[in-house]
């Protein structure tokens, strides 16, 4: 199995106590809801990555306010007993220029979810943890988190999520 290391920027897009989530239509996490974002291209700064990815996935123009957290996420395959994917995630707090311009993309459907009533079983486990522990409880400092996801085919389980 090929091993990968990626830098990824994701954003919490919040409006009227709701968060905009994307139902992913391709692996990993196909069929699950998650925060929009994506991989940094070589030579691209994270601020440019988040602006590009949010526009591609939602049609929205955003401005980076700050980084909420940096997270090291490792995927462990329970069948092969190997780590195979390692992402450094930059969880971004952003301002949205015009909320009315959001649209679905080839990446998946978009939907606004109440922050008070998130569907835990339908959201990427690590994204759910990020929303609950970081987005809803922002700090003035940037914390570094460690995440381990267990994978079994297309099933994902959060093994740990810690500072």
Q: What is the pLDDT of residues 33-69, one digit of tens each?
A: 999 999 999 999 999 999 999 999 999 999 999 999 9
| Res 132: pLDDT | 97
Please compute the mean of the pLDDT values over residues 114-120 and round it to a whole number: 95
| Res 114: pLDDT | 97
Instruction: Write out the chain in H/E/C secondary structure.
Output: CCCEEEEEEEEECEECCEEEEEEECCCCCCCCEECCEEECCCCCCHHHHHHHHHHHHHCCCEEEEEEEEEEEEEEEECCCCEEEEEEEEEEEEEEECCHHHCCCECCEEEEEEECCCCCHHHECHHHHHHHHHHHCCCCCCCEEEEEEEEEECCEEEEEEEEC
Task: Find, among 114, 101, 149, the residue nearest to 19 by Cα.
Answer: 114
| Res 9: pLDDT | 98
Please compute the mean of the pLDDT values over residues 153-157 and round it to a whole number: 92
* pLDDT higher than 90, residue 2: no
| Res 101: pLDDT | 85
Per-domain residue ranges of the chain:
4-70+86-140
User: Nearest-5° angle of CA 137, CA 27, CA 148?
Assistant: 45
Q: Specify whether domain 4-70+86-140 bears CATH 3.30.1490.20.
A: no
CA–CA distance, 38 with 50 (Å, rounded to integer): 7
Just list the catalytic residues: 107
Please compute the mean of the pLDDT values over residues 131-158 and round it to a whole number: 94
Going 142 to 90 to 99 to 35, the CA torsion angle's sign is: negative
CA–CA distance, 111 with 154 (Å, rounded to integer): 22
């Amino acid at each position: 199995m090929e091993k990968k290391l990626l830098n990824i920027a994701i954003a919490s897009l919040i409006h009227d106590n709701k968060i905009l989530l994307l139902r992913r239509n391709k692996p990993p996490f196909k069929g699950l809801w998650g925060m929009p974002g994506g991989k940094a291209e070589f030579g691209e700064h994270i601020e440019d990555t988040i602006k590009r990815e949010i526009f591609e996935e939602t049609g929205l123009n955003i401005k980076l306010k700050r980084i909420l957290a940096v997270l090291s996420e490792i995927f462990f395959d329970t069948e092969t007993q190997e780590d195979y994917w390692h992402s450094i995630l930059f969880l971004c707090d952003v301002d949205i220029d015009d909320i009315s311009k959001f649209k679905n993309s080839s990446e998946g459907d978009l939907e606004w979810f109440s922050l008070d009533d998130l569907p835990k079983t339908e959201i990427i486990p690590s994204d759910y943890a990020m929303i609950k522990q970081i987005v809803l409880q922002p700090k003035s400092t940037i914390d570094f988190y460690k995440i381990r996801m267990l994978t079994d085919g297309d099933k994902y389980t959060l093994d740990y999520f810690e500072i």
